[in-house]
Structure 1
Amino acid sequence: MFDVNLPPPTARSLLLTVVGELMHSSTEEAWTTALLRVLGGLGIEEHAGRQLLARAAAAEWLERERRGRAVHWRLAGRGLGLVSNGIRRSNAYLAGPPSWDGRWLLLFVTVPNQLRTTRKRLYGGLSWLGMGNPLSSVWATPHVDRKDDLSELVKSLGLEASSLAVIGPVQATGMTDREIVRNAWDLTSIAESYELLLAQLEDLAEPSDEDDVLLTYLRLLNVQQRLMRRDPFLPELLLPEWVGREGAETIRRRREQWAPIAHARWAKIVQECAPD
């Protein structure tokens, strides 16, 4: 539905969207059939959906409980952590651009060539934290409040001995703030994705029924999550003109419009799927 020039969503990311939005507390549960119905509406076939749920249980971010012949699912500890972090980031993204005191959080890190998997995980984690790469082995973000998340990422990958993080303003001897922005992120590509999304939302016909609202809402949330991985969410002082702010505001309005209907429909689906 939303073609915004981003890599297509993975099945895992769609499942995280579903459970993160519809089961985001430890008390919210769902039957297998309810989850498979919604995942099917998002393009994941039943067999693939069952495999996806099994892998989520093995990774310990979902847990299951058999009740007779049916299975109930809820978020596990690891899943709650992932979802809570995602909700916190989403709320900040939808609230508008942050203020900025002129300081940067900088990471200097080297990863040996033989640790390709570690490097890939590091780069993915740094991107999620909104960090860009202005120079070789240097990563930067104006979001200095993410220092604890950065520390946790570095420790989880065992890179403490090859990393150095500092917080402070840049000096006149090197790149300016604007030059860091220009070199660290491909903002042109991200802007194109926002422009495509805004055009598609403007032309989008209103969902035809409650099921359509639920699936459209979840697809929009997934697009938001993928945009958040690419958009560094820079303060206005660093990026005065940015289409991403209009994009985030439009997403926020659509979410407010569709959320009550989507959640009500989900509650009905869970009830409909309950075993006799």
Structure 2
Amino acid sequence: MIFTLFGDYIRHYGNEIWIGSLIRVLQEFGHNEQSVRAAISRMNKQGWIASEKRGNKSYYSLTEMGKERIEEAAERIYKIKPHSWDGKWRILMYTIPETKRSIRDELRQELIWSGFGSLSNSTWISPNKLEKQVYTLIDKYKIHDFVNFFVSDYKGPGEPEGLVQNCWNIDEINEKYEHFIRDYSQKYVIAKNKIDKGEMTDGQCFVERTILVHEYRKFLFIDPGLPGELLPEKWLGDSAASLFSDYYVTLAEPANSFFEGIFKEGNEMANISKDYDILDHPFIANNQ
């Protein structure tokens, strides 16, 4: 949830928030001060966020590693249509020894998150342009001596669609999109009705939008974001993305208002004078 808040709000307001404001915001979701501080401490130790003490107040911001992860996630979350394919496959092969097993396990999770699929135990492939992500992971885990990376054509004997079926469970992903569409279509209609009638508070819109993003971003862990040429004819990812976009934009203005109120109040209490505009958010700006 904190990642969601940084990605959807805080990074558009200077990438820094007072811990008091963060605690106040997360109270809307039933989280108490102790749980927020514990989560922030873990994220700090993991290198996602940095802390700064000014007087007796603590402030938190994304580190460079955190910014890169958020930017990568945002590019995928707010994408409405699949990209086109250059016809190439990115292939990462590794022979990481048993003594570095923990690194190997972490690398697998990172590869899945980035959209790679496992062709065999130590061979991972993707049709997406993930060169930057691959080199970042190689540097992060210092595994230069244990990996080989290729950008290659597929020469058969099967079809590229066969590789897709071997590496990803497209039917299962489609089914999860179907569930999302069914659940959130109803929520969208109800919320839009309430907003039009003035029956939904800014705070409720903020909670609903944050939960919407939080739930939708879970697809980053299962959907590799394949190009349109490799997707099945009855692919539901596009419909889910359109629903997400419509619902998100409907909730945007009142949700932003609620967050800004807490954020600016926290700044005033901490004697910080800054003015940020959530309309800098590319997804909102593109949908005005």
Q: Normalised by the shorter chain, which TM-score bucket?
A: 0.7 to 0.9
CA distance in 2, matches of 1:252, 1:182: 28
* Superposition deviation, residue 220 in structure 1: 1.3
1:225 matched to 2:209? The reply is no
1:14-35 CA distance string (max 9 Å, x none) = 1111112111157243332221
* Superposition deviation, residue 59 in structure 1: 4.0
- The question of whether the paired residues in 2 share the 8 Å contact of 1:134 and 1:181 is answered with no
TM-score by length of 1: 0.84
**Residue identity in the other structure for 1:180:** L
**Residue identity in the other structure for 1:275:** M
Count of equivalent residues: 259
1:170 matched to 2:154? The reply is yes
CA distance in 2, matches of 1:131, 1:244: 18
1:262 matched to 2:249? The reply is no
1:80-113 CA distance string (max 9 Å, x none) = 333233223334xx23111113211111223333
1:195-224 CA distance string (max 9 Å, x none) = 111111122131731111111111111122
1:201-240 matched pairs, under 5 angstroms? 201-204=184-187, 205-206=190-191, 208-240=200-232
Distance 1:165 1:44, change over 3 A: same
Match of residue 57 from structure 1: 44
1:40-55 matched pairs, under 5 angstroms? 40-55=27-42
Ranges of 4+ aligned residues in structure 1 off by more than 6 Å: none
- Describe the SS at the equivalent of 2:269: coil
CA distance in 1, matches of 2:26, 2:179: 25
What percentage of aligned pairs have identical amino acids? Answer: 24
1:1-276 matched pairs, under 5 angstroms? 14-25=1-12, 27-91=14-78, 94-143=79-128, 145-173=129-157, 175-204=158-187, 205-206=190-191, 208-241=200-233, 242-273=235-266, 274-275=268-269
Instruction: Provide the aligned C-alpha RMSD in A.
Output: 2.2
Q: Which runs of 5+ in 2 are unaligned?
A: 195-199, 271-288
Does 248-257 or 52-61 show the bigger shift? 52-61
- Describe the SS at the equivalent of 1:115: helix
1:218-268 CA distance string (max 9 Å, x none) = 111112221022101112221132111211121122122222221221001
Distance 1:101 1:73, change over 3 A: closer
- Describe the SS at the equivalent of 1:42: coil
TM-score by length of 2: 0.81
- Describe the SS at the equivalent of 1:164: strand
Distance 1:271 1:180, change over 3 A: same
**Residue identity in the other structure for 1:109:** Y
CA distance in 2, matches of 1:163, 1:191: 32
**Residue identity in the other structure for 2:160:** D
CA distance in 1, matches of 2:123, 2:57: 51
- The question of whether the paired residues in 2 share the 8 Å contact of 1:26 and 1:80 is answered with no
**Residue identity in the other structure for 2:269:** P
Match of residue 273 from structure 2: none
Does 112-121 or 129-138 show the bigger shift? 112-121
CA distance in 2, matches of 1:266, 1:252: 20
- Describe the SS at the equivalent of 1:248: helix
Distance 1:80 1:137, change over 3 A: closer
